[in-house]
Amino acid sequence: MTTYAKTTTVPEHGETVFIPLNKLKKHPKNARKTPHSEASIEGKAASIAAKGILQNLVVEPELDAEGEPTGFYLVSVGEGRRLAQLLRAKRKEIKKTEPIRCVIDTANDAAEISLDENVNRENLHPADEFERFRELSENRGWGAEEIAARFGVTAHVVKQRLRLGAVSPKLMQVYRDGDLMLDQLMAFAITEDHARQEQVYENLSYNREPWIIRRDLTASNVAATDRRAILVGAEAYTEAGGTVIRDLFTEDRGGFYEDAALLDRLALDKLESIAAEVQEAEGWKWISAHIDWPHAHGLRRTYPQPVELSEEDEAACAAAQEELERLSTEWEDADVDLPPEVDQRFAELEAEIERIDGKRYAYEPDEIARGGVFVVLNHDGEARIERGFIRPEDETPEPEEEEGRDGETVIDGVRVNADGEVMDGDGHPASDHGPEDEEVEEDGKPLSDSLIRDLTAHRTLALRLALGEQPDMALIAVTHTLAAQTFYRGVDADALEIRPISASLGGHADGIEDTAAAKALADRHAGWAADMPRDVADLWGFIAGLDHASVMALFAHCASQTVNAVKLPWEAHKRRAHQTADRLATAVALDMTAHWTPTVRAYLGRVTKAHILAAVREALGDEAAERIADKKKQEMAEAAEQLLAGTGWLPPVLRTERPAWLAEGQPEAQTIVTEEIPEAQNDEAFAVAAE
Out of 13-17, 328-332, 567-571, pick the least confident. Answer: 567-571
Rounded CA gap, 650 and 324, in Å?
Answer: 47
What is the residue-averaged pLDDT of the chain?
80
With 0-12 / 13-18 / 19 or more C-beta atoms within 10 angstroms meaning exposed / middle / buried, residue 358 is: exposed
The reply to whether the predicted model has a pTM over 0.95 is no
Rounded CA gap, 136 and 151, in Å?
Answer: 12
DSSP code for 77: E
pLDDT at 672 over 50: no
- Which of the two residues, 683 and 609, has the higher pLDDT score? 609
Q: Which band of pLDDT confidence, cut at 50, 70 and 90, is reported for residue 404?
A: low
Inter-axis angle of helices 126-140 and 155-165, nearest 10? 100
Radius of gyration, CA atoms only, the chain: 41
For residue 365, the tally of other CB atoms under 10 A from its CB is: 9
- Which of the two residues, 579 and 270, has the higher pLDDT score? 270
Rounded CA gap, 659 and 587, in Å?
Answer: 6
C-alpha to C-alpha distances, 687 to 567, 654, 681, 684, nearest whole angstrom: 9, 13, 10, 5
Q: Are 514 and 378 in contact (CB under 8 A)?
A: yes
- Which of the two residues, 569 and 381, has the higher pLDDT score? 381
pLDDT at 468 over 80: no
pLDDT at 81 over 70: yes
pLDDT at 218 over 60: yes
In DSSP terms, 384 is beta-bridged to 376
The structural domains of the chain, with segments of one domain joined by +, span 2-119, 220-304+363-388, 398-435, 460-560, 572-689
For residue range 116-151, list pLDDT tens digits in order: 887 877 777 888 888 888 888 888 888 888 888 888
The helix/strand/coil state of 571 is coil
Query: What amino acid is encoded at 285 in this protein?
Result: K
- Amino acid 663: pLDDT: 47
Rounded CA gap, 325 and 318, in Å?
Answer: 11
Whether domain 2-119 has CATH 3.90.1530.10: the reply is: yes
Query: What amino acid is encoded at 664 in this protein?
Result: E
C-alpha to C-alpha distances, 211 to 174, 190, 219, 227, nearest whole angstrom: 19, 11, 12, 23
Rounded CA gap, 32 and 408, in Å?
Answer: 115
Rounded CA gap, 81 and 53, in Å?
Answer: 8
For residue range 156-215, list pLDDT tens digits in order: 888 888 888 889 999 999 988 888 888 889 989 888 889 888 988 888 877 788 888 888
pLDDT at 6 over 60: no
Query: Strand 383-390's sheet: what is its strand order?
Result: 286-290, 371-377, 383-390, 300-301
pLDDT at 304 over 90: no
Rounded CA gap, 286 and 391, in Å?
Answer: 10
For residue range 554-605, list pLDDT tens digits in order: 888 888 877 777 777 666 655 665 666 677 677 777 788 888 888 888 888 8
For residue 387, the tally of other CB atoms under 10 A from its CB is: 21
- Amino acid 596: pLDDT: 80
DSSP string of 178-205, one letter each residue:
TSS-HHHHHHHTT---HHHHHHHHHH--
The helix/strand/coil state of 230 is helix
Percent of the chain with pLDDT over 90: 19
Dihedral angle sign, alpha carbons of residues 482, 483, 489, 494: negative
Rounded CA gap, 540 and 545, in Å?
Answer: 8
